Structure formats: structure tokens, C-alpha cells
Amino acid sequence: MNTADLGLPVAVPSTALFTDHYELTMVQAALRGGTADRRSVFEVFTRRLPEGRRYGVVAGTGRVLDAVANFRFEPEILEFLREREVVDEPTLKWLADYRFRGDISGYPEGEVYFPGSPVMRVEGTFAECVLLETVILSILNHDSAVAAAASRMAVAARGRPLIEMGARRTHELSAVAAARAAYVGGFSTTSDLAAGFRYGIPTVGTSAHAFTLLHDTERDAFTAQVGSMGSGTTLLVDTYDVAEAVRTAVEVAGPGLGAVRIDSGDLLLLAHRVRQQLDELGARDTRIIVTSDLDEYAIASLAAAPVDAYGVGTQLVTGSGHPTASMVYKLVARADSSDPGAPLRPVAKKSMGGKLSVGGVKWAARRPDADGVAEAEVVGTGEVPAELADHLLTVDLVRGGEIVARERLEAARERHLRARDGLPLSATQLSRGEPVLPTEYTGG
């Protein structure tokens, strides 16, 4: 299945320069030293979750597949590298023919993960795999951070819809990726039209304070909006006096007014007052939407309030205080020669400061307890124990350079809900704590 089959209308440009300078110089040195073709295995994992987080969320996998498919050194890119003398001519010739022909597997998008979880595995020659390090980490670190924040907000919202509206708080391209990751994590809609166009995420939006200020009176503004969009629209009621605005909104739109939005003030108090006022005016079905720098804690504080939906921007697109998932991309096994049949040797970084890695090609399984609730993340090398064979987590993503795991975004979104529901109940606590599952290592 290709991009067109999934209805994605935007072609992805070359991603070959979404990388660090030293990735290419390593390739040059490996080509000259005769080690570039050694079979190698890299794994993506994190050594720890952000402080206080109980689980992580894998997001960005679909974007990684796009990036790998479009990692091409086009003529103008090669000329740039030549002019800057980044690498020598033999390396440029090798890059001109670059196509990733290896294998990629990993946790499917939407799955949860824990410290040490082998979120993604990239296998091929050293040269073809090392070039992908930066772009893979760039995508997974950003998207997984946003998705984790979105998941916590979805838990706090207790089933009430969440609107992603952070486009103006981040880079314009990051905004599209953030909207996608938020959708995986549990948000229902986005304000970003590029995200709707590219990924099919439902988009919403009506008006800002500027529209009210444009008019001579608030009534004029509401009348214009209702006349254009119908009584089911959402009217912003906190430009001047909230109580007066609610009264005017119902007079203009009638009791069938779709919703009112509150964007400032004491949201808990205002939500109760507005709900009472709407009911007294006969607008019992009019919904209340709140915005205003919300995060998961603010959303949780409104759990008892008569709020029907939340709009979240800054805190969502910045990972609610943790803008990266701190994932790394490490070589864990390599062959001793360029012979395709040469066995793989486990390798691992040994260093001070907690930056150790565990060598060997790993499998991962989530062991359930007697009630079917997850009790441990088991990461191992060698043969998989029979009792864990039905609980393996990784799936094939790319085989022999061909993408084999494209899926619609809704599948990742639904998978995340199932994965989160399979965790112990304490996973949904917003209070600080350790990862809800321990990671157990076993060697083959």
C-alpha cells in the first residue's frame, strides 16, 4: 500500500539532508576503511521516561516510513555537499545511488513503551543504517513527546473531546506533526488545516476576539457569525462581560446555539455560571468549550465542571513540559566482515554518567498477570520464552527496503486506546511516580 492508497495528498520531499554532518563523514570513513558494508543493527530506545511520567507513547512511525522512502540524494543535494566539501567524490558517488534496502521493525504506532523498550530496530549495512539516525530520532522524539502529553490530557478529560490548537505556538511544520501526534494520543480534532489536508484529521474553528472587536457591538459580531455559519456555531463570550455575552448569544442564535467558548478568567467558576445561565435561558443543549493555556492538570481540575470540550495549544505542542522523548539510536550488533552471512556480534557503549547501552538484537514482550493486565515489559536477546510468544510487541515495518506496514492514522489512535487500557489503573494517575511497568532484561 502506498501513500496514494491512504489518501495522503502531499508528496514528501527528499529527507536526505535532515541529518547531521557527521553521519556522512562516518560513511566516508567506513567506505575508505572497508567496513561500510558490514551488516549492522541499530535500536531506538530511551533510558528513562520524563520525570513523573508513567508510560510513553510511540508516535511518528508513519512519518518515519515516509522519511525513509524519500531519503534520496538528488543532484542539487549532491552539488551542495560537493561545494561545501562535506564528503569526497567516491562518497558522493555512493550517495547518488543510496536507497535503504534493509529491514525496519518496531513497536507499532500508538503502542506504549517504557525505559529500555526497543521502540524501533533498523538492520542493514552500517552505511545505509547510520544515515537514518538523525531523521528517525527527530521524528520519534518530537511526535512521541506530543503524543504522551496528549494521552495524559485525554485521560484527564474523561472522554470529553479535545481540540488541538497549538499551530501558532510552534514551527509551522512542527505544528502539522504535532496535530498528527495529538490525534494518535486521543485528541479529536485540530485547528490546523494543513494537518487536516495531509492526514485527514477533522478540523474545527469559528472566530477569535479580533472578530468581535472588528464590530461596533458584540451583538453585531454574533449576528454576523450566526448569519454566516448558522445557529450551531460556537460563539466566543469572554471579550467583554461573559454574562452579558451569553445573554446576547442566546438572543441572537436562539436556544439552539451550538456552543460558547470561554478563553480566560476563572474557568471553573465561569463554567458553572455559564451553564446555569444557559439553562435558565432555555439553551440546555448548548455546549461549553474552554481554552486558555490548558494542560493535563488544568483539565483534571475541571473534571467536575460542566465543560463539554477543551482546546489545548502551547502545553500540548511542547510536550507539557517535556518536548522530547529522549530516545537514542545505538548500534547493538554488527558483523565482523562484509560477508552477508557473517554472524552478528553484540556491541554496547560503556561509559560514565548513565549512558550505558545493552548489546544484542532484542525482542520485547509485555507479560500479563492472571487477570490479563500488563505487569512487566520483558526485553531479551536470544530465544523467546514460550509463555511470551503470544505477547511480542514488535512488528515488521520495512522488509528489504519495501514498506510493509502503512496504515491509516485511525488505526494508531485505536491501538493507543487499547494499549493504555491494558495497563494497570495507576498508569492514568497524573501524580508523579515511576513507570507503571518495570522493564525486565533476560539474556539468551
Query: Residue 224 maps to which CATH number?
Result: 3.20.20.70
Tell me whether residue 32 is in a domain. Answer: yes
CB proximity list for 177: less than 8 A, separation 6 or greater: 60, 63, 139, 142, 143, 146
Do 246 and 358 fall into the same domain? Answer: no
Do 177 and 117 fall into the same domain? Answer: no
Do 200 and 313 fall into the same domain? Answer: yes
Do 192 and 316 fall into the same domain? Answer: yes
Tell me whether residue 35 is in a domain. Answer: yes
Among 275, 298, 321, the domain-final residue is 321
Taking only the tens place, the pLDDT of each residue in 97-139 is: 999 999 999 999 999 999 999 999 999 999 999 999 999 999 9
- Asked if 120 and 135 touch (Cβ cutoff 8 Å), the reply is no
Tell me whether residue 137 is in a domain. Answer: no
Tell me whether residue 424 is in a domain. Answer: yes
Do 226 and 96 fall into the same domain? Answer: no
Do 202 and 315 fall into the same domain? Answer: yes
The count of structural domains within the chain is 2
pLDDT at 278 over 90: yes
| Structural domain of 303 | 147-321
Q: Please, what is the angle between helix 172-185 and helix 409-421, to 10°?
A: 50
Tell me whether residue 140 is in a domain. Answer: no
Tell me whether residue 438 is in a domain. Answer: yes
Tell me whether residue 141 is in a domain. Answer: no
Integer Cα distance of 393 and 395 in angstroms: 7
Among 290, 321, 352, the domain-final residue is 321
Do 317 and 331 fall into the same domain? Answer: no
Taking only the tens place, the pLDDT of each residue in 33-43 is: 999 999 999 99
- Asked if 226 and 254 touch (Cβ cutoff 8 Å), the reply is no
Do 102 and 241 fall into the same domain? Answer: no
Do 29 and 53 fall into the same domain? Answer: yes
Greater model confidence, 11 or 189: 189
Do 159 and 304 fall into the same domain? Answer: yes
Q: Which residue has the cell 503470544?
A: 390
Do 166 and 212 fall into the same domain? Answer: yes
Do 122 and 174 fall into the same domain? Answer: no
pLDDT at 3 over 50: no
Integer Cα distance of 434 and 162 in angstroms: 26
For the chain, give the percent of residues with pLDDT over 90. 93
Query: Residue 416 maps to which CATH number?
Result: 3.20.140.10
Q: Is residue 153 exposed (0-12), middle (13-18) or buried (19+ Cβ within 10 Å)? A: buried
Taking only the tens place, the pLDDT of each residue in 399-427 is: 999 999 999 999 999 999 999 999 999 99
Among 297, 321, 345, the domain-final residue is 321
Tell me whether residue 142 is in a domain. Answer: no
| pTM: predicted TM-score of the whole model, two decimal places | 0.94
Mean pLDDT of 208-228: 98
